[in-house]
Amino acid sequence: MTLRFFKTLVVMMIASALQANAISIISGPYLQNVTDSEVTIVWRTDKDALSWVEIAPDDDLHFYSEAHPRYYATDMGRAVIGKLHKVKIKKLDKNTTYRYRVVSKEVTDEQPYYVIYGRHTSTDVYGRKPLKFTTADSNTDKVNFLVVNDMHGDTAKMTDLLSNFRKGTTDFVFFNGDMVNFMDNEQQLFDGFIDRSVKLFASETPFYMARGNHESRGRFARNYMNYFPTSTGKPYYTLRRGPIFFIVLDGGEDKPDTDIEYSGTTFGDEYRAEQAEWLNEIVATDEFKQAPFKVVVTHVPPVGDTWHGPLHAKSLLLPILNKAGIDLMLCAHLHRHKYNEPGTEGAQFPVLINSNTELLKIDADSKKLNVEIIKRDGTTSKKLSYDSRVK
Ligand SMILES: [Fe+2]
């Protein structure tokens, strides 16, 4: 072996070792809680890092044309350092597309008076076009979205159903609960559906979650909000997209709180009562009343079942919703299709329970809301249509 060859070999080995140790983005980024003026961007790295997002106008200039504003994840006045990165950007213009780059700078040591940084990693703005997101517009007349539920970690089925996703046309995807079997650890959540969502759409189109009873189970369930931030900071929240005002409820668990399966850890009755109180406030707002369509999204249907959770939701939430003039309730949980006309089982509005093998494709303008139920093979099994009752 010549000396020159030996030197080259050593350099290559060092470069390879450095590369192997370089920080990487291992999940995401994915968009959450997109509103008229805000977006939250979430991603994971394999090493602790300080992270930020840079945003740029969606114009013809290269991303490197100038320095762009940076938005950091902060808490109590300090940058968040860790492997999960969640950056909320506020004061954006509505109905506007922005280009973005996420950046993570490895932190190898954090002492009281100095921080030691390692290498950095980012999404690509050089080898490919930068990622983009578009803010919502509650004054726009149109919206188009998909609903999938009860995938229980079946990413192949989820991929087939989401073949109906159309970039530029589909405004967002709703995951109506039970996307995983339970929440045991972070990796399971990403393997279960988040990583696949990123591959399919979620870096540039947001998804919204309605928590299912299976996402409330397991030792990791208490971390739910870290991954799916909402406007209320709770799994129940409201959302205005186009002509639709959404109320997203968390049906909680299905059995009585004292059931042996919950081992004394479940307080669903109290939780549903808290939501009923909140719901009374929401339906009294002008924003709710004036919306052309009012749609409730809740995983566990408050009809069609005589288990404790649904019965409790029926007695507590249905009276409020019946008075509020709901146009449609979207549910899941039963793993089969069921459709209740208004006036059935105590609900004065239509209740559509989606199966675990079909997708809902919904579009609306201020006059009409249309639902198409699409099977895994791409064929349509049913179409429904509703007129706005707001004059
Ligand atoms: Fe369920």
pLDDT in tens, 56-81: 999 999 999 999 999 999 999 999 99
- Quote the DSSP letter at residue 170: -
- CB within 8 A of 264, min separation 6: which ones? 258
Select from 134, 158, 185 the last residue of a domain.
134
pLDDT at position 267, please? 83
Give the domain CATH number at 174.
3.60.21.10
Query: Would you list the DSSP string of 72-102?
Result: E-EETTEE-EEEEEEEEE-SPPTT-EEEEEE
Distance of CA 241 from the midpoint of ligand 1 (Å): 25
Tell me the residue range of the domain where 216 lies. 143-387
Q: Same domain for 212 and 327?
A: yes
**Coil vs helix vs strand at 3:** helix
pLDDT at position 390, please? 86
Report pLDDT digits (tens) over 307-320.
Answer: 888 888 889 999 99
Distance of CA 308 from the midpoint of ligand 1 (Å): 13
Distance of CA 374 from the midpoint of ligand 1 (Å): 20
pLDDT at position 209, please? 98
Q: Same domain for 240 and 353?
A: yes
Distance of CA 180 from the midpoint of ligand 1 (Å): 10
Q: How many domains does the chain have?
A: 2
Distance of CA 283 from the midpoint of ligand 1 (Å): 26
pLDDT at 11 over 70: no
Select from 134, 169, 202 the last residue of a domain.
134
Q: Same domain for 224 and 305?
A: yes
Report pLDDT digits (tens) over 122-166.
Answer: 999 988 899 999 999 988 999 999 999 999 999 999 999 999 999
Q: Same domain for 221 and 356?
A: yes
Comparing CA positions, the residue from 186, 302, 171 lying closest to residue 244 is 171
Distance of CA 140 from the midpoint of ligand 1 (Å): 33
- CB within 8 A of 88, min separation 6: which ones? 33, 38, 39, 40, 71, 73, 229
Q: Same domain for 55 and 188?
A: no
Longest dimension (CA), the chain: 88
Select from 71, 103, 134 the last residue of a domain.
134
Q: How far apart are CA 293 and CA 307, in angstroms?
A: 30
Q: How far apart are CA 353 and CA 249, in angstroms?
A: 15
pTM here? Answer: 0.92
Task: Tell me, yes or no, whether 14 lies in a domain.
Answer: no
Task: Tell me, yes or no, whether 2 lies in a domain.
Answer: no
Distance of CA 208 from the midpoint of ligand 1 (Å): 17
Distance of CA 334 from the midpoint of ligand 1 (Å): 7
Distance of CA 337 from the midpoint of ligand 1 (Å): 14
Count CA atoms closer than 13 A to 219's CA, side-chain side: 4
Task: Tell me, yes or no, whether 332 lies in a domain.
Answer: yes
CB 182 within 8 A of CB 143: no
Sign of CA dihedral 313, 319, 322, 323: negative
Q: Same domain for 115 and 231?
A: no
CB 225 within 8 A of CB 234: yes
What mean pLDDT comes out for the span 248-261?
A: 88
Distance of CA 219 from the midpoint of ligand 1 (Å): 18
Q: How far apart are CA 72 and CA 92, in angstroms?
A: 15
Distance of CA 300 from the midpoint of ligand 1 (Å): 6
The distance in angstroms from the start CA to the end CA of the chain is 86
pLDDT at 16 over 70: no
- Quote the DSSP letter at residue 63: G
Distance of CA 181 from the midpoint of ligand 1 (Å): 9
